[in-house]
A and B are shown apart, each in its own frame.
Chain A
Amino acid sequence: MNTLRIGAGAGYSGDRLEPAVELARDGQLDYLVFECLAERTIALAQQARLADPQAGFDPLLTERMRAVLPYVRGGARRLRIITNMGAANPRGAARQVSAIAAELGLRGLKVAAVDGDDVLDVLRQHPDWALDNGLTVAGLGGRLVSANAYLGVEGIVQALALDADVVITGRVADPSLFLAPQVHHFGWPDDDWSRRGRGTLTGHLLECAGQVSGGYFADPGLKDVADLARLGFPFADIDIEGLATLGKVDGSGGRIDVATCTEQLLYEVHDPRRYLTPDVTADFSGVHLQACGKDQVRVSGGEGMARPQQLKVTVGYRDGWIGEGQISYGGPNAVARARLAGRIVEERLALTGVAVEELRCELMGVDSLHASHFGMGGEPWEVRLRVAARCLNREAAQAVANEVETLYTNGPAGGGGATRQVREVLAVASLYLPRELAQPQVHLEQCP
């Protein structure tokens, strides 16, 4: 019942691999958690699974597991891995990890899949249910691709109680991936809202990995961060009360201090008194952060209240196509030539009868990020026209992209570096589900 050390091995699906290996090798961790599932990722994974029933889990699963599984049994301390890399196919992912473990000679490794988050069938039985954007399930019709409830800690805790070395989930709330090992290790009761609140706070600080240890922070001259190319990912030492101290492996790049932790504490938070997860209504409003050594911050003051009665469900649906074209202009009068180019594209789309639902025409280097330069812009040396449109079909989206490219020989002087892109829109929206309608299920695989 001493302290528990949990490390963050990924903050998103494409994150760097070496910092996770560094943590597994040198971090003296009890748990390594990989958070890899953004809002839309599971809808994309569901599409992949429809095309190939064996697919639908994170494409980097194999690479990550090959790199860290050798440390699961290799050190003085038992290391266990928790990840949502199962995406739309946790059981398929667990089979894949078992196969890798067998290849690596890790006999008897226990790999658990946690699913039950897929509630597509539940939605199909309730065509009148409305999403937060006003559409109904019936209104989406055949465009509906996926519906996954954010599960809490229960399935992971069950898997850990079954002695799983690796737990692979589908959609689980990000902080729950970190709260689950705390609940398992310390035996916190289901209604211990204060400790769950603090454990969720720690999970929230860790879930974006490098974003709390100096990543996404540097502003040269004002906020400098050493050695971002070798950024170390964070871990937390947690006691039975749920109080945590954040740190990272000695010698790794980055920094952990009150400023980096404050930025991450409020990241994607609305009302800090009510941070809703499936496990607790966490209260971050009274959090204190205290530096307690080089790259070490003590976190206290987290609280919690009863968990919400409903689970958030992310619904993925096909929503038309986006066509996009870009072309650059430089030198004297570049902005005027680029603006003319944009007007030509808009006129061409009208002339040729290309139907667009929404169109954006902007200059990268001038107004593409904020639709304004807040009175601070001068004439840039170079700009890049970007035209993007959402269309009902692929042909229209392609026509938008093509019109930008035809500026080469038909538009203003000196355009260069045109690119085109067409992609299907996989949109997401939310609804809330009575929690009993999404029950976690645990499946255990044991390597021979």
Chain B
Amino acid sequence: MTRQLHELAHTRTGDKGDTSNISLIAYREEDYPLLERELTAERVAAWFAHLRDESAGPVRRYDLPQLKALNFVLPGLLRGGVTRSLALDAHGKCLGAALLAMDI
């Protein structure tokens, strides 16, 4: 069965320099193993492939099972960072919401 991530988890996105981090938090304890299995760093990297600067380094994932949370760190996504980026959302604050569109 395919479900949209939006039903299973919520996100918040932060920025430091031109690195973005997206936390993904399961609503329910029982869904966390599914997220842990499906939401690999590689899959998240592929989802944002068109925005990534591969030379900045790989996407990393940190697991916090007691909080049913995964923390994704995406280097280079903000292209020069908040202060010189031409992006409308220079902080990349809307990125986490885009992740929630994924079907798993």
Contact = CB atoms under 8 A, between A and B. Distances in A.
A399 interface: no
A390 B84 contact: yes
A262 B69 contact: yes
B96 to A, nearest CB: 9
Contacts of B7: 222
From B47, B60, B84, B88, residue with most partner A Cβ within 10 Å: B84
B12 A263 contact: yes
Query: How extensive is the interface on chain A, given as a class?
Result: 35 or more
Contacts of A369: 88-89, 94, 98
Given A40-B82, A267-B23, A370 B14 contact: no
A223 B14 contact: no
A217 B86 CA distance: 26
Interface stretch (A114-122, A302-310, A338-346, A425-433): A425-433
Nearest to A361: B86
Interface stretch (A48-56, A99-107, A282-290): A282-290
B88 A368 contact: yes
A71 to B, nearest CB: 32
B87 interface: yes
Contacts of B89: 368-369
Query: Which 7 pairs of residues, A with B, have the shortest CB-CB distance?
Result: A268-B14, A266-B23, A263-B12, A427-B84, A388-B86, A360-B86, A267-B14
Interface of A: 39-40, 132-133, 216-217, 219, 222-223, 258-259, 262-273, 285-289, 301, 319, 322, 358-360, 362, 364, 368-372, 374, 376, 386, 388-390, 425-430
16 contacts: A40-B82, A40-B83, A217-B12, A222-B27, A262-B67, A263-B25, A268-B15, A268-B21, A272-B71, A359-B86, A370-B94, A374-B101, A389-B86, A390-B86, A427-B80, A430-B17
